[in-house]
Structure 1
C-alpha cells in the first residue's frame, strides 16, 4: 500500500491550494508590486491549473478503485496490485506529462505575447506588462507612449482619434501615436511607429521635442513627443487618414478648450506652436 499512501499524501497540498484558490491568488497579489502583479498572478493561476490536473487524474484513480471494490469484492491479487501499486505511479507520470504539455503551450503563447515596459517618471524601465492589458486598462504604473506631430508649411496635420481608442475616441489629435515595446530603445520604437504609419517619411526630418508624464482617470503614460517636418505633404494624402487635414494655428486656437481636441494635444499645443514657428522663421531666413 506504500505507493497508494504516497499518492494520497502527494495530493493533499494540491487539494489545499485548489480549495483555497481565491486566498492563494489574493495572497500572491498582495505580496507583489504593481510592476510584477500581472506576471505573478499568471504564475499563481498556473499553479492552480496544475493542482486541478493532479486532482482530476487522482479522482479518476480513486473512482476506479471504488467501482472495482463495489463490483468485484474481494479484489483479486492482480487487480489489487494494479490499483494500489501500478496505478499510483501512472497517476504521477500522467500528471507530469500533462503539466509539461501545459508548460510548453504556455511558453509558446508567451513567445508571441507582446510586452510594454513599465517606467518611472524619469523613463527608467522598472518592469514589463502585457501590452493588451496595459493598453486597455488604466493602471497605477506608467507605460511609455510615443506621439509624433506631422507639420508641413507651418501647419499641423490632425485627425480624429480612432473609435477603437481606449479613451478620447473621436477627438482631434496628432497623426501618430503608439506604445514603446519592451526591449526597444526610443530610437527603435519611434522608427517602427513612423514606418507603420508613414513608410515614405524621411527619418532625418523626425525630431524629439518633449517628455512629460500624463495621467487621468483613463490612462497613465510617459509621453515622448516628436515632430515630423515635411516639405512635401503629399505623403499625408492617405485613405487611412480618414478625416485628417492640415490645420493652421488660428483654426486650432479657435477650437481650444472646447472639448474638441484630446487633452494631450491641448497640453502640447503651445510647445508645438513655438517649435514649428521657430523652424519656419529659420527656413525663411
Structure 2
C-alpha cells in the first residue's frame, strides 16, 4: 500500500485558515503609518500571491475559505479609498467594521447552507473547515473587542491613548497566526509518530483511515471496519498461546495467540503476518505463513475485519519463548476445546476454533495417522 502514514498538514498556509487572513493582517499593520491606500494596495498584492500559491497546490485548492473572507474585507474597504482624507483611527474603525461584517456573513452563510457536509469525504478539507470555524470565531471576538475599545476611548476623548492602540489589532491577529502555525506544526509532528489504521469495507477495500489511539471512537458499524491480522501457530495438534491481562485487541484476562496486530496503512496483511512470525521464529529456513480466511468479528458491538493466517511448525522449539515477557506455551487442542465455553480464551480464538478443528487441525491429524 502506498498510502502515507499520516495526513498532510501545511502549518504556514494550506491547513492554517489564518494564512488566508494574512492580507488583512498586513493591512492592519500598515494602516497606522502608511495610510489606507498603501495598506489596501499591499494587501491586494499579498492576496494575489496567496491565491496563486493555493491555486497551484492541489491539496489546498478550493478548500481555504479564509482567502475569500479576506477578499470580502478588502472589497468592503474599497469605497473608503475615495473618501476625503481621514484619520488613522477612522481608517482602523472602517477596517475593523469591514472585517466584522465579512467574517459574520461568511459564518452565517456556511451555517445556513450546511457546507460542512460537503467535505465529509476529504479529511484535509474537513480539517480546514473545522479550523476555519474556530478561527473566525476568534476573529469576531477580536474585532468586537477593539471596536468597543476604540469607541469607548473616542467617546471619552482620550485620543492619545487611542492612537497607541492603532497597531494592536494587527499585532493580535499576527500573534494568532504565529500561534496557529506552532500548534499545527506540533500536531503534524505528533501525527508522524502515530500509527494509522485503514477503515475498510467488508471486502477489505480501504474507505478511510483512523489513528490507532482513536480506534475506540469508531463505534458506528456503518462507518466501516478496522482490520486485524491474526496468525495461529500449530505443531503436533497443539496451538501456541500467551496470557494477556488487557490490550487494545482484547478486553480482559485471557489466553490468545501472541501473533496479532492492527493492520496499518503502510503494510499489506501478508507482510504484517510475515513480520509477526519472524519476530519469534528461530528455525533455519524462513517460515512462510499461509492465509486461511477473512471474516468479520463482532465484540461489544464493534466489528473487526480479521485476516487469519496459519504458521505450521515441524518442531515446537522453533518459537522463541523468551522473546516476549508474557507467559506462553503450547496448548493441546483437546485441552483448549474442553475450556472453550469458559472465559479462559479470547473471543477471537473461540470463534476460530471450530473452523481450525474442521480444516487445519483435521488435516494435520489425518496426516499423522498415515505416517
TM range (shorter): 0.7 to 0.9
| Corresponding position: 1:206 with 2:326 | no
Would the aligned equivalents of 1:3 and 1:89 in 2 still touch at CA under 8 Å? no
Q: Sort the Cα spacing of 1:127 and 1:163 in 2 relative to 1 into closer, same or farther, 3 A.
A: same
Structure 1 unaligned spans of 5+:
none
1:276: Cα distance to partner? 3.3
Match of 2:348 in 1: 264
TM-score (norm 1): 0.76
Match of 2:228 in 1: 145
Match of 2:255 in 1: 172
TM-score (norm 2): 0.60
1:214: Cα distance to partner? 1.3
Per mean C-alpha deviation after superposition, the further-off stretch among 209-218 and 87-96 is 87-96
| Corresponding position: 1:46 with 2:46 | no
* Structure with a larger share of its residues in strand: 1
1:52: Cα distance to partner? 5.2
Per mean C-alpha deviation after superposition, the further-off stretch among 128-137 and 117-126 is 128-137
1:157: Cα distance to partner? 1.1
| Corresponding position: 1:7 with 2:92 | no
Map 1:30-69; keep pairs closer than 5 Å: 43=128, 45-51=130-136, 53-54=138-139, 58=143, 61=146, 65=150
Give the Cα separation in 1 of the matches to 2:235 and 2:138: 61
SS at match of 1:204: coil
Match of 2:269 in 1: 186
Give the Cα separation in 1 of the matches to 2:262 and 2:230: 9
Match of 2:63 in 1: none
Per mean C-alpha deviation after superposition, the further-off stretch among 165-174 and 225-234 is 165-174
Structure showing greater radius of gyration is 2
Give the Cα separation in 2 of the matches to 1:144 and 1:206: 18
RMSD between aligned alpha carbons? 3.6
Match of 1:131 in 2: 212
CA offsets 1:148-206 (integer angstroms, 9 cap, x no match): 1111222111233332345431122222211100132222222343345x264665341
Would the aligned equivalents of 2:197 and 2:210 in 1 still touch at CA under 8 Å? yes
